[in-house]
Amino acid sequence: METGAFLDARGSAGLAAAVTSIRKLADELVEVLGRSSEDSDGAHRDDHDPLADLAESCLDGLGVVARIEAAAAAAKVHFLSTYAGATDALEPPAESPYESSAREMSQVAEVACVLTVGERAAAALLGEAHALTTSLPEVLDALQAGEISWQHARIMVDETTGLDNAAAAALEAHFLDPEAPNAARGAAAGELVPARFRRKVRAWRERHHPESLELRHVKSVEDRRLEYSPDRNGMAWISLYMPANTACAVWNKTSALARGLQRPEEPRTLTQLRADAATGLLLGNAGQSVGAAPSLKADVLVTVPVFSLLGATDEPAELDNYGPIPTSMARKLVSEGAGSFYRVLVDPRDGAPLEIGRSSYRLPESLKRWLRMRDGKCTFPGCSNPSQDNEADHLTAWERGGATGISNLGQLCPKHHRLKHRTRWSPGPAAVNEPPGWVSPSGRKYNAERADREPTLWPPGCLAHGSSPMETLIVDYLVAS
């Protein structure tokens, strides 16, 4: 393809659209600044609060600037992709792998020098630009429109690596196309902080990957390892790559040991205590530092589709505070009767929670587990504080007539529990299967993050709709067991 044809086909249109998007957003920012100036000029009116208007204008401006940054990132993607395509078109076909590698190195070096970044970062940018312009058009459009950030776009690139075009398109549509079948619920992609967005994308990818999670898990177990990385100030990192159930067990045990050491005279934080407990366990002297700890039980919910538990399908289960796990791992956790794990069945018709294992008859504990199953974490936007460290809170206070029911409860970490009671931040309404959103002091509404529950995979011979005698017998048996 000639250089001119290449630029017409892939370069000019994309660059022009990116620049136009930035220009429109810049005009919107000018309007925000103009409104702020007009509000300050009218400060003499009795019903006018200039400070409140200034604060509102600043928040509006921050929102527009964030969208401009996203559009600028989209423009950078177009420039990178077009540059790579143009330089490739200028050269004749490479005659050897060595020559092709040399040209790629030259491209990377040029980009690194222009952007004043390392060559590794430049190579990553070129790879991300190629993926966005060739395989993820909806992601690039959302980035260009300022609907998602550059971090969100990078997550989509990262989590679609290794997927074929059809699987990548399905993942892209799920999170960015509200008209897609079983589209993502709750807060939009751009309303989720990147860490929470990555977790949702990864969970969906695990469930819908063309290759079975069981097979991928077996392959990945072979890659388990311990890594050591020196750091600054005489410190270092030790990392373990291991199966998820083992990692959760390690985390829960060290957390329980650390909590057992917390007392008024203990100067160490919970984070420091976790590190010290793990160190003691690894070095074989755990008894010296944590021997006086109370019960080590740490409750973990394992959400298992009914047919997976029976062995009729291999649909992934859900491990509390982790995400999808292979069915074999869930069956093992349930069959071995691990005291720290509570089985949760889900309705095969719509994926909604069906029943919590009856190992405890105390209503407060049962309700607390249901709340953990619904919310999964602190419900404040962007907070990832896990269930074990959170507090159940009445959305409408008890003294104001609020009931003690799942629709009037939400999980809050200690920090955001204090925020709710000490400021004008307030949670919105909740439902049996929907956590509450939040409203800020400025009146802005932030949608709740919701779990992407899906109908269970039905084995051959079962009715996917309505209620069959077989379904009734299965559900009754498992609930009673």
Contacts of residue 274, defined as CB under 8 A and 6 or more positions apart, other chains included, come to 254, 255, 258
Can you give the pLDDT at residue 272?
93
- Looking at the chain, the whole-number percentage of residues with pLDDT higher than 70 is 79
How many of the other CB atoms lie within 10 Å of CB of 58? Answer: 13
Backbone dihedral angles phi then psi of residue 54, each to the nearest 5 degrees: -65, -45
Provide the 3-class DSSP secondary structure of residue 64.
helix
- Flag whether pLDDT at 67 surpasses 60: yes
Q: Is 420 left (phi over 0), alpha (psi -120 to 50) or beta?
A: alpha
pLDDT at position 292 is 38
327-362 pLDDT per residue, tens? 888 777 766 655 555 566 665 655 655 554 434 323
CA distances from 86 to 2, 20, 72, 102, 221 (A): 9, 22, 21, 16, 43
Q: Which residues pair with 379 in a beta bridge?
A: none
Q: pLDDT tens-digit profile of 422-441?
A: 888 999 888 877 889 899 88
Q: Which amino acid is at 268?
A: R
Please choose, from the candidates 319, 322, 345, the residue with its C-alpha nearest in 3D space to the C-alpha of residue 333: 319
Residue type, 194: P
User: Residue 456: CA atoms inside 13 Å, Cβ hemisphere, count?
Assistant: 31
Nearest to 259 by CA among 300, 301, 296: 296
Spatial contact of 331 and 319, defined as CB atoms under 8 Å apart? no
Nearest 10 degrees: Cα torsion 139, 169, 347, 364: -20
Q: Is the pLDDT of residue 39 over 80?
A: no
Render pLDDT for 268-290 as a digit per residue (tens, 0 to 9).
998 999 999 998 888 876 444 44
Does pTM top 0.85 for this prediction?
A: no
Packing angle, helices 165-176 and 137-144, rounded to 10? 30
Q: Provide the pLDDT confidence category of residue 146 given band limits of 50, 70 and 90.
A: very high
Ordered DSSP codes for 96-139: SHHHHHHHHHHHHHHHHHHHT--HHHHHHHHHHHHHHHHT-HHH
Asked whether the predicted pLDDT for residue 293 surpasses 80, the reply is no
DSSP annotation of 433: T
β-bridge mates for residue 345, sequence order: 304, 355
Write out pLDDT tens, residues 220-278: 999 999 998 888 888 889 999 999 888 988 888 898 889 888 888 999 998 999 999 99
Neighbouring C-alpha atoms within 13 Å toward the C-beta of 349: 9
Residue 158: pLDDT above 70? yes
pLDDT for 33: 78
Confidence of residue 14 (pLDDT cuts 50, 70, 90): confident
Nearest Cα neighbor of 385 from 426, 409, 416 is 416
pLDDT of residue 359: 41
Q: For the segment 81-123, what is each residue's pLDDT rounded down to a tens digit?
A: 999 988 888 888 877 888 888 888 888 999 999 999 899 999 9
Q: How confident is the model at residue 2 (pLDDT cuts 50, 70, 90)?
A: very low
Q: What angle do CA 56, 62, 67 make, to 5 degrees?
A: 130
Number of residues assigned to the chain: 481
Whole-angstrom distance, CA of residue 420 vs CA of residue 395: 10
Q: How far apart are the first and last CA of the chain?
A: 67
Higher pLDDT, 103 or 45: 103
Greatest mean pLDDT among 29-33, 56-60, 191-195 lies in 191-195
Type of residue numbered 18: A
Please report the pLDDT score of residue 169 as a whole number. Answer: 93
15 — pLDDT class (breaks 50, 70, 90): confident
The pLDDT of residue 300: 63
Find tokens 């018709």 and name the residue.
349
Rounded mean pLDDT, 460-480: 60
Residue by residue, DSSP assigns 458-480 as: PPTTS-SSS--HHHHHHHHHHHH
Question: 301 or 439: whose pLDDT is higher?
Answer: 439
Structure tokens that stand for 396 in this block: 């409408």
State the chain's mean pLDDT as an integer. Answer: 80
**Tokens, residue 193:** 């902080």
